[in-house]
Amino acid sequence: MKITRFLLRDFITKGELFHLARVKIFSTDDISLHNHDYAEIFWIEHGNGTHLINGLNTPLNTGDIIMMRPDDLHTFSSNRQGITMMNLAFPFKTVQYFKKRYFPESEDFFWKKGDLPYQATLDETILRSITHLAEKMWKHQDSAIYLDSFLLSLFKLLLPTENQPDNQDIPAWLNNAIQLFPAQPDLFRLGARGFASICGRNIDYVNRTVRKCYDKTLSTLVTELRMQFAARQLAITNAPIKSICHDCGFNNLGHFYKQFQTIYQQTPSQYREQHQRMS
């Protein structure tokens, strides 16, 4: 079988830093056996098939995510329904930077030793969240900020300590949603319904679980998470408070102030002044 080396420059245009695509694969005729001069992450959104990787055949199913090292040699096969996947290609120097800064002792992710690259299976909630984050950066393939932000979010979700709930009585899907919700302000306006959509469960069931685990209503939890987002924006940006209020999903500035003061015992203006004061 002919082997091809894929080059990142053949997938990106001038000014772009990474390539993001959604592809559907039916057979090895769709993508030739290849390696790359870049790092690659792909995850399976729908379908199942086989990953032909470094001379081995491994199954692929919905939710599987794989981090490909440049010299990994691979292609795919599938049944008649095909495999739909998201694929992210980016310079390997980015991986080297992350290794040095965040994972100096790691032998996981892109730094895994052995014949097979890193592979994990995501639950439905995390799979949707990663796809959502990827789709948000689709139009920003010239931005290192969007790439780094996505990778940091992904690594954080995949770290073993992050996937384990702090309290074993709290289901993992709820812990994951609490981590993901503050990073998706487009859901804030939907309030409890937006939070439940991340959970992938009925809103009444989510509310009952939140009451059981945290002794508070889902509405209260969502308000706290929105205020955490507001506090972060007040501390690290100069965005007008009215804009932050709107981004948090509030139509009434007075109500926003009241909710913020209830949690932080300060007005938003006082909080910003304290946290942006030069030492």
Map residue 52 onto helix, strand or coil: strand
Instruction: Check pLDDT > 50 for residue 253.
Output: yes
Angle at 57 between CA 55 and CA 58, to 5 degrees: 130
What pLDDT is stored for residue 277 in this prediction? 65
What pLDDT is stored for residue 161 in this prediction? 45
CA 180/CA 195 separation, integer angstroms = 9
Q: How far is CA 157 from CA 125, 182, 275, in A?
A: 11, 14, 28
- Give the model's confidence band at 177: pLDDT under 50 very low, under 70 low, under 90 confident, else very high: confident
Strand partners, 19: 89
CB atoms within 10 A of CB 237: 12
Residue 78 sits at φ, ψ, to 5 deg, of -150, 175
What pLDDT is stored for residue 246 in this prediction? 93
For the ranges 22-26, 122-126, 239-243, which has the lowest average pLDDT? 122-126
Instruction: Check pLDDT > 70 for residue 278.
Output: no
Identify whether the C-beta of residue 141 lies closer than 8 Å to the C-beta of residue 20.
yes
